[in-house]
Structure 1
Amino acid sequence: MAQPPTSRTWQIADRFGAFASFLCAIHCAALPFVLAVLPLVGLEFLADHRFERGFVIFACALALLTLVNGYRRHRRPASLMLAFPGLSLLLLGVTVAERYPITLHSVLVTCGGLLLASAHFVNLRLDHRQAHVHDAGCAH
C-alpha cells in the first residue's frame, strides 16, 4: 500500500506547532516571575486565564491534527508518545491546577508545552527520514 507523500503544508503546520508549544512553555515558566510587570507594559492579557485556555485549546487541536496526520504518513508512534502526556499536562495545568499555587500550574504547563514541542520536532524528523531516499549518489 502506497504511503501518502509528505506535504509541505503539514511540515509548516508542525514547525508552527513546535514554535508555538515552545513559546507556550517559555510563557508559562516565566509568568510567575513577570506577573507584576505585565500591566506596566500593557501585556496583562498574557496573564489572563481565558487567553491561556484559548492558546492551549489551539495548541492541542493543532497538535492532534498534525501529529495524527504524521502518524498516518510514517506509521511510527514516537511523536504521539510524547504528545499525549504533553497534552494531558497542558490540560491539567489550565483546569485542575488553577485551584492550586501558581508554581504547580507553571510546572505542569511548562512541561506539557515542552513535550508537545518535542513531539512536533520528532514528527518533522520522522517525515524527513521518510522523504529521504537512499540511492547510489547518497553521500552517507
Structure 2
Amino acid sequence: MARSPTSRAWQAADRLGAVASFLCAIHCAALPFVLAMLPLVGLQFLADHRFERAFVVFACALALLTLVNGYRRHHRPAPLMLAFPGLLLLLLGVTVAELYPIALHSVLVTCGGVLLASAHFVNLRLDRRQPHMHGPGCAH
C-alpha cells in the first residue's frame, strides 16, 4: 500500500530519532572508557556537557514530536510508555546526575537512550502495520 508523503516524513523522523537515541546511548556508555582519548583524536567536544545537553534536548524534542504524532495515527500507547521513562532518565542523567560520579550519569543516560530508541522502533513497526486510509487528504 502506498504511504502519503506526510507519513513517509514522520517515518524518516522516527528513523532519525531511533538512530540519534541509539548513538546517544552508545556515546554515554563508552564515554567513561574513552574520555582520556577524545582530545588525542580532536573529539573533546563530545565530552562537553553543553554538547551532551543540546543532543539530549534535540532527542527529547524529536521523540515527543514523532511519538505523539505516531500515537495519533495508530492509537497504541506502547511507544509512549517506553519513551516517557527514557526521557526522564535522559533528563535526570544530564542534570542531577552530573553532580554524582560519572558511572551514575552514564547508566542513566545510556538506559534512557536505549528506551527512547526502542520507543522509536516500536512506533515505526506500529506505523507499518497501520493500513493506509483513503480520505480527503489522500495524495493519490
TM-score (norm 2): 0.90
Q: Identity across aligned pairs (percent)? A: 86
Q: Which runs of 5+ in 1 are unaligned?
A: 134-140
Give the superposition deviation at 1:131: 3.0
Separation of aligned partners in 2, 1:84 and 1:108: 13
Equivalent in the alignment of 1:55: 55
Separation of aligned partners in 2, 1:76 and 1:97: 32
> Where do 4+ consecutive residues of structure 1 move more than 4 Å?
none
Q: How does 1:107-118 map to 2 (within 5 A)?
A: 107-118=107-118
- Aligned-CA RMSD value: 1.6
Give the superposition deviation at 1:5: 9.0
- 1:95 has 2:120 as partner: no
Equivalent in the alignment of 1:130: 130
Equivalent in the alignment of 1:137: none
Give the superposition deviation at 1:6: 6.6
Q: Structure 1, residues 88-114: CA drift from partner, whole Å, max 9, x if none?
A: 000000000000000000000000000
Q: How does 1:1-140 map to 2 (within 5 A)?
A: 7-131=7-131
Equivalent in the alignment of 1:136: none
Give the superposition deviation at 1:85: 0.1
Residues 28, 110 of structure 1: 8 Å contact kept: yes
Q: Which runs of 5+ in 2 are unaligned?
A: 134-140
Equivalent in the alignment of 1:138: none
Residues 6, 127 of structure 1: 8 Å contact kept: no
Q: How many residues align?
A: 130
Give the superposition deviation at 1:20: 0.4
Separation of aligned partners in 1, 2:90 and 2:69: 21
Give the superposition deviation at 1:65: 0.1
Q: Structure 1, residues 54-104: CA drift from partner, whole Å, max 9, x if none?
A: 000000000000000000000000000000000000000000000000000
TM-score (norm 1): 0.90
**Paired residue secondary structure (1:76):** coil
**Paired residue secondary structure (1:7):** helix
Residues 13, 66 of structure 1: 8 Å contact kept: yes
Give the superposition deviation at 1:132: 7.1
